[in-house]
């Protein structure tokens, strides 16, 4: 599994022009990197949506994603997918741990951010601002372009 995540990180590094952070003097908060963030458009008539991202912990201490908020949603939760018998279901989790040197992928079919009480629908081309809350690193602000899952798959 570790190898898979490592390969994934390399693959995504190839499609991101930003240079790698290699300065050994940066604070631990600077060792967390978020990539490939995006949100799904809200389906018609539904005020709920999901967000996806990759969190890379380049530091030497584990961190935990403990919450998220957005001005575009009344509430944002971190969800995981579990098997309930033969049915895949999602449920909120209190924290998502990202071990030292590890990568956590929030992607369709797996863990994700869940936006509730979305007053104004997420539509293609918009950007949704989200503040992630980490136990060690504190708040990290990110922007999620709104797009369809297929567009993401095609880009890799
Ligand atoms: Cu969910």
How far is Cα 22 from Cα 89, in angstroms, rounded to an integer? 39
Say how many Å lie between the CA of residue 127 and the centre of ligand 1: 20
Say how many Å lie between the CA of residue 108 and the centre of ligand 1: 10
Say how many Å lie between the CA of residue 19 and the centre of ligand 1: 32
Q: Which domains does the chain have, with CATH numbers?
A: 2-16+29-154 (2.60.40.1890)
Whole-structure pTM value:
0.76
Q: Where do the DSSP E strands lie in 13-137?
A: 32-39, 49-57, 63-69, 73-84, 87-92, 96-98, 103-106, 112-118, 127-134
- Is residue 75 pLDDT above 90, yes or no? yes
Instruction: Judge whether 132 and 68 are in contact, CB under 8 Å.
Output: yes
Say how many Å lie between the CA of residue 32 and the centre of ligand 1: 23
- The phi, psi pair for 30, rounded to 5°, reads -75, -5
Instruction: Judge whether 28 and 136 are in contact, CB under 8 Å.
Output: yes
Residue 149: what pLDDT?
A: 78
pLDDT, tens digit, for every residue of 97-137?
Answer: 999 999 999 999 999 999 999 999 999 999 999 999 999 99
Say how many Å lie between the CA of residue 114 and the centre of ligand 1: 5
pLDDT, tens digit, for every residue of 32-52?
Answer: 999 999 999 999 889 999 999
Say how many Å lie between the CA of residue 81 and the centre of ligand 1: 8
């Amino acid at each position: 599994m570790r190898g898979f995540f490592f390969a994934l990180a390399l693959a995504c590094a190839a499609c991101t022009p930003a240079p790698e952070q290699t300065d050994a003097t940066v604070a631990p908060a600077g060792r967390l990197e978020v990539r490939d963030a995006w949100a799904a458009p809200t389906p018609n008539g539904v005020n709920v949506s999901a967000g996806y991202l990759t969190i890379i912990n380049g530091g030497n201490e584990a961190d935990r994603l403990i919450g998220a908020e957005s001005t575009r949603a009344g509430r944002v939760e971190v969800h995981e997918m579990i098997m309930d018998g033969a049915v895949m279901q999602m449920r909120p989790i209190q924290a998502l741990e990202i071990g030292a040197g590890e990568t956590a992928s929030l992607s369709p079919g797996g863990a994700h951010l869940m936006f509730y009480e979305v007053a104004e629908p997420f539509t293609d081309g918009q950007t949704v601002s989200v503040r992630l809350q980490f136990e060690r690193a504190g708040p990290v602000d990110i922007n999620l372009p709104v797009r369809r899952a297929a567009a993401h798959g095609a880009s890799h």
